[in-house]
Amino acid sequence: MASGRSRGSRNRRVSLPGVAELLRSPSRSPVVEAGPQASGRESHPQKITVYVSATELIDLERARLALRSYGISVDRGRIVREAMAMLLADLDAAGENSLIARRLRGNP
């Protein structure tokens, strides 16, 4: 096949944000808690794959069990979405001084 595609391949198209959405100025409050909430128990049409170490997976499961002991029953995906929402809100509010920027730069 000239195109390099196998006969059984499907054309998969995903909806991505436009340039205007990606380059918009931050409009969120500087307080992390006031940022957007992560999606809860709902159908999620988009998917990403994240590879973690065995230690990170155990830590995530420990966090889930700790939350459960506090009466908060959630799955690992919900914890990850909440953590992501918090970090992205902090990035919008604090920019290069945000926790994620500092950690990725190597100086938490």
pLDDT digits (tens, 9 = 90+) for 43-74: 778 889 999 999 999 999 999 999 999 999 99
Q: Which of 83-89's residues contact partners 24+ apart within 8 Å by CB, and which partners?
A: 84/38, 85/35, 85/36, 85/37, 85/38, 86/32, 86/35, 88/35, 88/36, 89/28, 89/32, 89/34, 89/35, 89/36
The pLDDT score that the predictor gives to residue 10 is 61
Residues of the chain below pLDDT 70: 1-42, 108
Mean pLDDT over each residue of the chain, to the nearest integer: 79
The pLDDT score that the predictor gives to residue 45 is 84
- Token pair listed for 58: 């155990």
The pTM of the full predicted model, rounded to 2 decimals, is 0.60
Domain extents in the chain: 47-108
